[in-house]
A and B are shown apart, each in its own frame.
Chain A
Amino acid sequence: MEESVIEIKNLNVFLNEVPILKDIELKVNRKQFLAIIGPNGGGKTTLLKVILGLIEPDSGQVKIKGLDIKEGRKLIGYVPQISDFDKQFPINVKDVILMGRISDKQGFFHSYSQKDINFVEGIMKDLDILDFKDRQIGRLSGGQLQRVLIGRALAAEPEILLLDEPTASLDAESRSNIYKILKDINDEITIIVATHDLSAISSYFDSVACLNKNLHYHGDKNISQDDVDQVYGCPIELIAHGVSHRVLGDHSGDEQHD
């Protein structure tokens, strides 16, 4: 029995009495690399925000390593969507990543220790962004900014990484670059990615969940055509995304089917 780091039971979220998430059951094991796919508006971001305690669920239970959200989320590194950002904010790359070192522990007149700075520079080196550590964040490409946000999340030394659409609006090269980075990080850290980008699923993730109000998940990357049809409404949309069930199976080298 593998150790589970996130356990969600019977989760329901309503917004103005419209159900956003319905009866969600999800168990994520340690060092899993999980993709949550689904159409826009399917509740992916909501689910992540519930796990982070940013949205209060109407019912259900979320445990992070057996802890309640308030304690458990300290183990989570959060990488929000870059589209939510004010890219004009007068701050440079290094200062953004240092923010990952902030927690509820610092008191008055806090300044970052040399240890913090060394740690953060190590992260920047790993992510290949050390060269522009003094650059204002609005002057980065999308892929660079995404790496900065991953760096900030890693600076908190998390055990779990949650990413919301990390490859939206990136070109193909930066996209595979981000997934390669995540794959490396996955050696140590559990990763959950919410995405509607289906192209990378086969080669990088080890499990896939489909979310459109309801969650379809079997603990591996084999999603049945039924699940996909239900989630996306119609199979044509899937073909337009360039992915089908067969492709998923082939790329993984794993031939077992449900």
Chain B
Amino acid sequence: MIEAILEYNFLQNALYSALMASVVCGIIGTIIIEKNLVMMSGGIAHTSFGGVGLGYYLNIEPIFGALFFALFSSIIIVTIRRKTEVHSDTLIGIMWAMGMAVGILFISFMQGYPPDMSSYLFGDILTVTNMDINIMLILVVIVVFAITSLFNQWKSYLFDEEFSYVRGLNTNFYEYFLFILIALTVIVLIRVTGIILIIALLTAPPAIARLFTYDFKKTIFLAIIFGAFFSLSGLWLSYLFNIPSGSTIILLIGITYFILAFLTGKIKCSQ
């Protein structure tokens, strides 16, 4: 496979995108599982499908449409969550389905044969283009810089929002910023695992990392390493057996989580 990687541009792109996905998954995934925002992230991911549809319909790059929808929905979710007493769950459920509905509607408006949506829904890492790589790189740099440059403040915000607010941190800013970062992360992951499988790639690597450490920073680093290991081995398996890459990666990492959780005693057999 090494020669193939050197030879084929599409394999190089697959490799780069898998590595970049692991980095953002490690960082944002760790944050969303600690902050209980997993379903929220799933909601943002699914809403972005509306943007993919819009992109096809307007004949612009679907990933830009997805980016727009993801950012828009994340800001709407935070704003509504702050201003009203609507339960977040309810809100996510509605946005989730509406985003998908909008996407399907736009696709149906298109003339001629509808495009194949499965690479956006389930991911196809072997079809990642140079343009996708450039977009992903920019988003990854933004996410990494945003978190590392304000790391202590983020940690305080994530651990105890009220205390941080009383100490003078602008928790409003951090909340909106976090949701924007989740939206960017979703876009990085769309081409790798697809909208439907994103949640697993966001949660499983940090969940595995949490089996081995009680430190926030170490959780992030371990999650990045696990993410990279599993997405590369998933990529290799999917290339070898010609099976879908997104599913391969997710199944590999999911099964590993359950085995390790069982072995380390986090999940116990009832006697």
Contact = CB atoms under 8 A, between A and B. Distances in A.
Interface of A: 52-54, 73-74, 76, 78, 80, 85-86, 89-92, 95-96, 99-100, 102-106, 108-112, 136, 138-139, 152, 156
Interface string B208-248: 00100111101100000000000000000000000000000
A52 B152 CA distance: 22
A87 to B, nearest CB: 11
Contacts, number: 83
B159 interface: yes
Interface of B: 34, 148-153, 155-156, 158-160, 162-170, 210, 213-216, 218-219
B213 to A, nearest CB: 7
15 contacts: A78-B163, A78-B166, A80-B160, A89-B216, A90-B210, A90-B213, A90-B215, A91-B214, A92-B214, A95-B216, A102-B156, A106-B153, A109-B148, A112-B152, A156-B167
A26 B242 CA distance: 73
Contacts of A80: 160, 162-163
B30 to A, nearest CB: 8
B175 to A, nearest CB: 14
B225 to A, nearest CB: 16
Contacts of B159: 86, 89, 91, 96, 99
B263 to A, nearest CB: 20
B109 to A, nearest CB: 44
B168 A103 contact: yes
A104 B149 contact: no
A156 B149 CA distance: 22
B166 A99 contact: no
Contacts of A92: 214-215
Nearest to B149: A108
Dominant SS among interface residues on chain A? loop
Given A86-B34, A102-B156, A102-B169, A108 B150 contact: yes
Q: Which of B152, B167, B219 has the most CB of A within 10 A?
A: B167
Contact of A54 (B153, B166, B213): B166
A91 B216 contact: yes
Contacts of B219: 90
B7 to A, nearest CB: 41
A29 B166 CA distance: 21
A152 B163 contact: yes
A97 B150 CA distance: 18
A91 B210 CA distance: 12
Q: Which of A92, A102, A104, A108 has the most CB of B within 10 A?
A: A102
A136 B159 CA distance: 13
A69 B136 CA distance: 43
